[in-house]
Structure 1
């Protein structure tokens, strides 16, 4: 059976298919009738649903984190499409085609991996270069860094998203260090590589994107420091002060405690890391919002941007960044479909 993507479901659309059950809770109508409040997801996004009839019979048939087969119909509720579910049953994980549930980076991740490797191999500080090389060559951590999403939503929430985010940030850091030559370029680039490494344990991304129990209880900053300390210890002679600075880069990259930082940035490289992390995520968010269809000149309001986005006309819409040595295709070349090393990510 052909998979029906959630993003294609409209009002009145009949739905029979398998989806990931991201959340489930029980509610009661004003008349005292129980119902199930559900959130489904697939590789195209998420959609809420309600099961109104026989809710107590269905309540124990599936739990959040299960794959479920549903029968439903699309309906409009408060200007949003949601699913009016009439049937729900669990589906064995081994029977699920994960390609339907894990959105992938729409560009070749190897281009990002090559750029990151080139930047690391160019570090002048031998201890930092060896540390980064140990991470990238680690048989567990290296592949997971390439596969992980950057987040479960908001920015680069797809397979390879973390690598893309790191690659973009490393290129930004490199440019900023040219502008501010007093900055320790090697320290900053190493901090970028490690800053979100803990997300490979904080998030689950085998079948669908979600937070692990450990991720909710501990968080990626702590995991990142643990991975950093382990790799440094295995090298045997890593400079203690450099290790301390790298630990601070990881623990402070969210900027402020109310945004999840353990410490506020306390030296220049930590401040730069925080801002370029936020910059890449927010630029991604705005350009994604601009790419939304409908709503005239404005997107819907985005909580993570704290505003709606105005849709600025662009010659090349969508999030993109240029890899080293790339020459942007001109307007005429793009119109003819000529090659460019820019990496557009939103083509809707």
Structure 2
């Protein structure tokens, strides 16, 4: 089903969709209904409703549905009014066809972030730390597959490595453009590691990103800091000469500071505020990656011919974004 070509009033039959999110709500008459976010093939999403009279079997995120539905429009957005549906078993459809996946080539991206045996890196402590992450095959597989969030940004297979690579490229380019005396190796090491805890905070269930119990209880910033701190103590600290122990401990603290402060504000989940130039830069690059994702995602989701998106919450305020019209006359 091509969501872009759907027309209001159109009837679709025997269409298979993946349930990305299912919410059982109650309407003003006190009747239950399902509000759904559905993935078509390729991972493109459309909202759907199953009203009380049409509810049959329970609907859960990560399940496939075969639907008979009418295309309606609500607040300028097309949605499916589902008249009948069947919950499909895992053998009834190809899950991979409905799961959004990053366009980034994850293998070279992982090497860019975690292979610190390259000549451009000289800090022995950071090289030893990064080798622990790089050579851990289980971690590498998780990092390449993991989503970066459950809703807000890069919430799909490979979203974590895509987001981290964007932050890396932004931090590298902006530090060079600014020309300030940044500690480049500390900066890039922190970028690569700032979200490693997300491999334990999020998972894909039926192709749909959801938060784990550990992620709910501890949050990814704490988990990231703990993973880095524990590996430093087991893999780096034993190899540090006694006369360099104080310098290495300070380096560890500076690295953890960037990771813990990268959300930028206490109310955004960081336990400390950024207090070094590197920490400030990582925060803004992280924020820029997630904010621009929201912008372009909203523009892509705008109905054909619409010049404005639905409301998007960015930069502490809600606003609609302008959708550039297709320039049909451009040559």
How does the TM-score come out when normalised to structure 2? 0.80
Aligned partner of residue 312 in structure 2, secondary structure? coil
**1:184 paired residue number:** 183
Task: Indicate whether 1:248 and 2:257 are aligned.
Answer: yes
Give the Å deviation of 1:148.
Answer: 1.9
1:280-312 residue CA offsets vs partner (Å, 9 max, x unmatched): 222333344445453554333312363222346
Cα distance in 2 between the residues matched to 1:129 and 1:274: 23
**2:113 paired residue number:** 116
**1:299 paired residue number:** 309
1:41·1:101 contact (CA, 8 Å) conserved in 2?
Answer: no
Cα distance in 2 between the residues matched to 1:223 and 1:247: 11
Gaps of 5+ in 1: 316-334, 336-348
**1:131 paired residue number:** 129
Give the Å deviation of 1:254.
Answer: 0.8
1:150·1:162 contact (CA, 8 Å) conserved in 2?
Answer: yes
1:35·1:53 contact (CA, 8 Å) conserved in 2?
Answer: no
Give the Å deviation of 1:88.
Answer: 3.8
Taking the TM superposition and a 5 Å limit, the aligned residue runs for 1:158-237 are 158-178=156-176, 179-206=178-205, 207-237=207-237
**1:282 paired residue number:** 291
Cα distance in 2 between the residues matched to 1:217 and 1:8: 42
Cα distance in 1 between the residues matched to 2:179 and 2:112: 22
**2:280 paired residue number:** 271
1:26-75 residue CA offsets vs partner (Å, 9 max, x unmatched): 31443x5x2312213221124131223154xx3x6344454444333222
1:300·1:308 contact (CA, 8 Å) conserved in 2?
Answer: yes
Match of 1:261 among 243, 246, 270: 270
Match of 1:308 among 320, 326, 329: 320
Output the aligned Cα RMSD. Answer: 3.0
Cα distance in 1 between the residues matched to 2:93 and 2:111: 32
Cα distance in 1 between the residues matched to 2:269 and 2:33: 32
Q: Which has the higher contact order (CA 8 A, sep 6+)?
A: 2
Cα distance in 1 between the residues matched to 2:262 and 2:69: 43
1:289-341 residue CA offsets vs partner (Å, 9 max, x unmatched): 445453554333312363222346899xxxxxxxxxxxxxxxxxxx9xxxxxx
**1:84 paired residue number:** 81
1:20·1:101 contact (CA, 8 Å) conserved in 2?
Answer: no
Give the Å deviation of 1:253.
Answer: 0.8
Give the Å deviation of 1:268.
Answer: 1.9
Give the Å deviation of 1:255.
Answer: 0.8
2:308·2:323 contact (CA, 8 Å) conserved in 1?
Answer: yes
1:21·1:68 contact (CA, 8 Å) conserved in 2?
Answer: no
Aligned partner of residue 14 in structure 1, secondary structure? strand
Cα distance in 1 between the residues matched to 2:148 and 2:117: 20
The aligned length equals: 309
Give the Å deviation of 1:237.
Answer: 1.8
Q: 1 or 2, which has the higher helix percentage? A: 2
**2:241 paired residue number:** none
Gaps of 5+ in 2: 239-247
